[in-house]
Amino acid sequence: MPTRILGISAYYHDSAACLVEDGEIVAAAQEERFSRKKHDASFPTNAVAYCLRYRGISPAQLDLVGYYEKPLVKFSRLVETYIACAPSGFRSYLAALPVWLTDKLWIRDDIRRRLEGYGGEILFGDHHESHAASAFYPSPFENAAIVTIDGVGEWATSSIGIGRGRQLALLRELKFPHSLGLLYSAFTYFTGFRVNSGEYKVMGLAPYGEPRYVRLIKEHLLDIRQDGSLWMNMDYFTYASELTMTGAALERLFGGPPRRPESPLTQREMDLARSIQEITEEVMLKMAAYAHRETGLRDLCLAGGVALNCVGNGRILRESPFEQLWIQPAAGDAGGSVGVALALWHRYMDKPRTSAEAAGAWERPSAAVRGVPKYADGMSGAYLGPEYSEKEIAEFLRTTGYRGRRLAPSDVAAHVAGRLAAEQVVGIVIGRMEFGPRALGARSIIGDARSPRMQSVMNLKIKFRESFRPFAPAVLRENVHDWFEIDGDSPYMLLVADVQPDKRVAPPPGAVAPGGLARVNVPRSTIPAVTHIDFSARIQTVRRALNPLFYDIIDAFHRRTGCPVIVNTSFNIRGEPIVCSLEDAYRCFMRTNMDALLLGNFILDKHEQAPFEDDEAWKALAHAD
């Protein structure tokens, strides 16, 4: 019988479950996809049920269950922080205490109660060790340095470690309250976005600004050391003791209060975003350089929420001493469920690990080529969630009365490519749902990257989100270097690279460039829908091996248009998680201005659908994220 380990992360944000069978990740999903509550922090009841259902097992057939961190250690940090800050943190402490006393301190009992029939051990990992394990064990490397960076775990806020074979050790940690992740979140809050949700908006806003606050930040807010560690001046931050991130001191420093959510963005917010992004990249590069000096290894693995900063990742790839980089696609807390399950297999059970490198399944590029490994990793392209058979889709359409028609499997790619070439926007549900925050062609909305109107149409009429937000290109792996300044794999949409100079478009002679956010409407390349204002793009490279139909759609579009690049954005509207079920997909399709919906090999046209009865509550959610 195979050995099965269930990993769980819960109660902070992005709860998730992962099932590992004989050291292989066979299923993983976030609770938000099932509950439809974005960043759902509750116990991942539905995600656990999916993982067990995928293998057709009950809780009694699990061998081990692991939780991704140590609640008692985390609670001790809460208490010690309150004592150190008292009495100023009393309100915050009172708000947190009931949840700890009723739920978080009794997680072992909670897990056992929810996994009825399970009689085995329930073990606890360390937060940053779980991140490190999620980064190293699925990577293709036999040996690698590991860097984890996030807000805070128990006490650690970042770590540097080393992985060799099945062994993993953390060498250094930075401890709370000094935290790059919390620093970035503080600026997310100050610029008017939601903490633990809007950080990527700050990253997208940064190119519109100038780094005019970098010197002020370094003079007043923090000291950056050569090893990438931080000392933060807590006179300017309130997250250690209050229910907010920043206080009056930061307002005085930056000439006014935080931006109110949903109010107009000003040049100050753009400049603050640019400044904190540059600080973040500096810290990430210094930490990577220090990890290289300490370990002497050629390859680097990244995890933790800050590892979702794809601009910083791109700079590490280009500028750090490491030859190869691998990033856990579910780099945030959801990935902790993967890490604790794999750590139990390799460390607690002392089971062997055969990396792709050791097995000869991954060939190291020449020293002249720096990049990201091919799909020779343990994450299966992050396609680890539920999928729907042709029979299930046909039954869904029959019982609901939704109007769709079946395409021959050999016709699907060309049909969708033709719609994209006609500037239609298509939602797609194909294969297993992605694990992690990125849609990678299984639960995606796709469009023509060549269209100068596609970015504004998708942002304002489909995603209902801010106009400045960039979209990512999905590009055939064999053509990526022809279009972008990168010659390697980026399967998980976690790296930024610039559009090749010969694909850029110069402004007309004498044209006056608009200022502020109006610059988003100026075409900068022959693929303007995926080219940010600084000529950068967050790239997803696509190989046929893991998502054949998505690859075939792009390939058919390439043969039709000469362009191997399409727009790929997540299948959701602002304020909701990526779709999971067929009903989720249809509902999102009907709420937006998408032209067509592909469910497996069934195509649904918007104009053929009956009027969709829906309540209006979702509109408030979509405009208040």
Residues 73-97: what's their mean pLDDT?
A: 71
- Structure tokens given for 582: 């067929």
For residues 7 and 26, what is the distance between their CA atoms, to the nearest angstrom? 12
Across the chain, what does the average pLDDT equal? 92
169 closest CA partner among 193, 145, 194, 198:
145
Q: Is the pLDDT of residue 368 over 60?
A: no
pTM above 0.75, yes or no: yes
Residues 72-96: what's their mean pLDDT?
A: 72
Range scoring the smallest mean pLDDT among 60-64, 340-344, 573-577: 573-577
- Structure tokens given for 56: 């057709």
- Going by their DSSP bridges, the two strands 299-303 and 324-327 should be labelled as parallel
Provide the pLDDT for residue 96: 66
Q: Is the pLDDT of residue 318 over 60?
A: yes
For residues 131 and 350, what is the distance between their CA atoms, to the nearest angstrom? 19
Provide the pLDDT for residue 613: 78
Provide the pLDDT for residue 87: 66
Provide the pLDDT for residue 56: 97
Provide the pLDDT for residue 40: 96
Q: What is the pLDDT of residues 385-431, one digit of tens each?
A: 999 999 999 999 999 999 999 999 999 999 999 999 999 999 999 99
Q: What is the pLDDT of residues 116-138, one digit of tens each?
A: 999 999 999 999 999 999 999 99
Provide the pLDDT for residue 255: 94
Domains of the chain: 4-177+283-378 (3.30.420.560), 390-622 (3.90.870.20)
**Burial track 72-91 (b if 16+ CB lie within 10 A, e otherwise):** eebbebbeebbeebeeebee
Taking residue 363's Cβ as centre, other Cβ atoms within 10 Å add up to: 12
Provide the pLDDT for residue 17: 98
User: Is the distance from CB of 168 to CB of 347 less than 8 angstroms?
Assistant: yes
Provide the pLDDT for residue 169: 97
Confidence of residue 242 (pLDDT cuts 50, 70, 90): confident
Q: What is the pLDDT of residues 331-359, one digit of tens each?
A: 999 999 999 999 999 999 999 999 988 88
Provide the pLDDT for residue 457: 82
Provide the pLDDT for residue 625: 52
Q: Over pLDDT 70: what percentage of the chain?
A: 91
For residues 124 and 138, what is the distance between their CA atoms, to the nearest angstrom? 20
